């Protein structure tokens, strides 16, 4: 599902920190940011049902072409 697990992990951590900050500052509707699947692994079918809109965007996003080569290109692809 995810193209790059490092990017997925970084985004997940970023989202969790933003959510905690929003709740700490009591921003209106911050409680709507709760997502238990940041911390537990759901069934594949459940992901497809609950996150169909987001998956559609991800699956149809244009692929970014890496123009770097060699070691720099490798690192850019991985991270």
| DSSP code per residue over 33-71 | G--GGGTSPPPHHHHHHHTHHHHHHHHTSPPPPP---HH
Q: Report yes or no on 37 lying in a domain.
A: yes
Q: Report yes or no on 76 lying in a domain.
A: no
pLDDT at residue 79, rounded to an integer: 67
Q: Report yes or no on 66 lying in a domain.
A: no
pLDDT at residue 38, rounded to an integer: 75
Count of the separate structural domains present in the chain: 1
Give counts: helices (H), strands (E), the chain: 4, 0
In which region does residue 70 sit, left (phi positive, over 0), alpha (psi from -120 to 50) or beta (all else)? left
What's the pLDDT band for 39 if we cut at 50, 70, 90? Answer: confident
Q: Report yes or no on 78 lying in a domain.
A: no
> Which domain does 18 fall in, by range?
5-61
Reported as a single tens digit per residue, the pLDDT across 3-32 is 677 878 888 889 889 999 999 999 998 888
Q: Report yes or no on 69 lying in a domain.
A: no
Report pTM.
Answer: 0.50
Q: Report yes or no on 54 lying in a domain.
A: yes
* Residue 2 CB-half CA count within 13 A: 12
Between 16 and 79, the higher pLDDT residue: 16
pLDDT at 1 over 50: no
Contacts of residue 7, Cβ cutoff 8 Å, sequence gap at least 6: 79
């Amino acid at each position: 599902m995810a193209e790059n697990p490092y990017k997925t992990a970084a985004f997940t951590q970023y989202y969790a920190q933003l959510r905690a900050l929003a709740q700490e500052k009591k921003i209106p509707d911050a409680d709507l940011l709760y997502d238990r699947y940041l911390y537990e692994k759901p069934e594949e079918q459940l992901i497809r049902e609950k996150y169909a809109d987001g998956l559609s965007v991800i699956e149809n996003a244009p692929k970014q072409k890496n123009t770097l080569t060699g070691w720099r290109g490798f690192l850019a692809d991985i991270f």
